[in-house]
A and B are shown apart, each in its own frame.
Chain A
Amino acid sequence: MQNRFWTFLLIALVLAGLVSIGLFSGRFVVYLSMRVMILAIFAMGYNILLGRTGLLSFGHAAFYAGGAYGLGLFSIHVSTDPLLGILMGVLLACALALIVGFFCVRHTEIYFAMLTLAFGMMVFSLIWNMRELTGGDDGLVGIMREPISLGFISISLLKTSHYYFFVLFWFVVSVWIIHLIRSSPFGLVLSGLRENDRRVEFSGLSVKNYRLASFVISGTFAGLAGALGALLENNTDPFSAHWSHSAEPILVSLIGGIQTFTGPIVGSVIFIVLREIIERFTQNWMLWFGIILLVIIMGLRGGVVGGITQLFKGGRHTSPSGGKP
């Protein structure tokens, strides 16, 4: 089939590109690319909740921080094995998401948004105040990137370029898993929730359980991103749990296109690259982002990817998401 061939070709090209960045680019580009991939993991996972299920959460930064601090604490106190560290970070984020989600999915719309904000800030204030455990406003420092030991071989992660391929691995895995979820029956039900949650209930499905599952899945990916970020920077930042950090995946998904699969990825690239460029010329990148955000909300609600696909499809079946995100 025509379509499939082009899709595979595109994926192969992108992969080749990503690999060559790791092999040939300078340190800064490699570092930026890792930041893009980590943000993309955060945003893609988050978009399952926002774009698919239609729920706006302002607390997901807390799960990102859960992943970061989970890995950090494990690395400092127990073992520096990176794979185990990531597992611990992801598990902590998942558990947090389960607890918070349990309380939050009973409500929708603005109450849901406010509840997630409250819980997210509770996590933030805990991190901020429990200095002995979390390092307070300094965060946890000295998180080392020890080699991965898989029995007979040991893969060093110390060099930036080596760590790059580790991040790339998790990025590809995340993209694949999220693709599977989106094209599964579960993913279809999530779309139904966004469109008409009452009708989903009347199809014999528990809306609360599906919302919770969507919440936990997105929280888990946030945790993965946080853990990878902590290993990248060798420290944790308490502000990664602040509600303003929760705005990043929302922004990024919006820029790329909330309803699309590749939207969050494209959005992450644009966000980070644009911020770098803008910061070269002026201190005021927030100003420009505010303007870009305004433009998108007022006019280009399908985001970049949405706009491009509309161009190709000629706006036949798809309608720009006017009513719902």
Chain B
Amino acid sequence: MTTPLLEIKSLHKAFGRVVTANGINLTLERGALTSIIGPNGAGKSTLINMLSGSLQVDSGEILFQGKDITDLPIHKRVRLGLCRSFQVVNVFPELTVFNNIQIPVLAVRKRATRLFRSLSREKDAHDEVGQVLDRVGLESKGHVLANALSHGDQRLLEVGIALAVRPKLLFLDEPTAGMNPVERVTVLQNIKRLSAEGKTTFVIVEHDMDIVFSLSDRVIVLHHGDIIGDGTTDEIQNSRRVKEVYLGEEVME
């Protein structure tokens, strides 16, 4: 039996009296494109933060490819192959697009500690940066400063930086937030294609149901720190419990 990519055991996190993760148990397998949905405040961001390492868990275990990473610092998790992108664009503003990607590429190629070697001699890294730019569709914009990009392009860069570390498991936190429909389609097609390549398993946090149901192999529904739905898109669409929660929320508004 192959070790699952990610195992979460009894993950618990509370902020004062607000419980954002209520003893969550979850297993993720390689290759399945998973979406995590849930109303606001369901605990999606908290979960991602705990898994990626920005937030400490109160109790519970996180196993990545069988290895306990519960107390591992962020950069070590990334080196093992677990990474995330951010909902709010989180790039290197005054560096060029090329340099934005170059930093994680150099890091993953273990070239980032070179002090006395000129950047221009790093031909292999150079090529790999070009490949990443191609994959996200920014190949023509390498020399542009990150903060001079359009919002949509910045989101592409955001995903690009996350992909550049060659993650085995990548959490995308609302990757299409603020994009117009055309950009949205491009990004999603890219994700679908990359997921099919098989090198990276994607887990997407999303609000847009159309995207979720058109893209995912598996859908997980969070509510107040509990998983209230976990299955294929059909199962979730037909789940009474999920409908209650979502409709309930809407009725209350």
- The residues of A with any CB-CB pair to B shorter than 8 Å are 177, 180-181, 183-189, 191-192, 195-196, 198-207, 317, 319, 321, 323-324
Indicate whether A317 sits within 8 Å of B112 (C-beta atoms), given known contacts A188-B99, A204-B78.
no
From known contacts A198-B90, A199-B92, infer whether A189 and B103 are also in contact, taking CB-CB under 8 Å. Answer: yes
Tell whether B145 is near chain A: CB-to-CB under 8 Å.
yes
On chain A, the residues within 8 Å of B84 by CB distance are 202
Interface size on B, residues (CB 8 A): 43
Please state if B106 and A185 are interface contacts (CB–CB under 8 Å).
yes
Q: Are A185's CB and B112's CB within 8 A? A: yes
Q: Any chain A CB within 8 A of the CB of B52?
A: yes
A183 in contact with B118 given A192-B103, A199-B161, A202-B83 (CB within 8 Å): yes
For chain A, what secondary structure do more than half of its interface residues adopt (helix, strand, loop), or is it mixed? helix
Min CB gap A320→B, angstroms:
10
25 A-B pairs (CB sep. < 8 Å): A177-B116, A180-B115, A181-B115, A183-B120, A184-B116, A185-B112, A185-B114, A187-B119, A188-B119, A195-B94, A196-B92, A196-B93, A198-B90, A199-B92, A201-B75, A202-B52, A202-B75, A202-B84, A203-B75, A203-B161, A204-B75, A204-B78, A205-B103, A317-B96, A324-B94
- Give the residues in chain A near B52, CB-CB below 8 Å: 202
Closest chain B CB from A272 CB (angstroms): 30
Restricting to B95-133, which residues have a CB under 8 Å from any CB of A? 95-96, 99, 102-104, 106-108, 111-120, 122, 125
> Bound complex: CA of A188 vs CA of B114, how far in Å?
10
Is B28 close to A, CB under 8 A?
no
**Distance in angstroms between the alpha carbons of A191 and B144 in the assembled complex:** 16
| With known contacts A191-B92, A202-B74, A203-B103, A186–B118 Cβ distance under 8 A | no
User: Is A189 a contact partner of B145 (Cβ separation < 8 A)?
Assistant: no
Establish whether residues A188 and B75, one from each chain, have CB atoms under 8 Å apart when the complex forms: no
Contact A195 B95 (CB under 8 A): yes
Given contacts A185-B112, A203-B78, A206-B73, 19 further A-B contacts (CB under 8 A): A180-B116, A181-B115, A183-B119, A184-B118, A185-B113, A185-B117, A186-B114, A187-B119, A192-B95, A195-B94, A196-B90, A196-B93, A198-B90, A199-B161, A202-B52, A202-B165, A203-B108, A207-B75, A317-B148
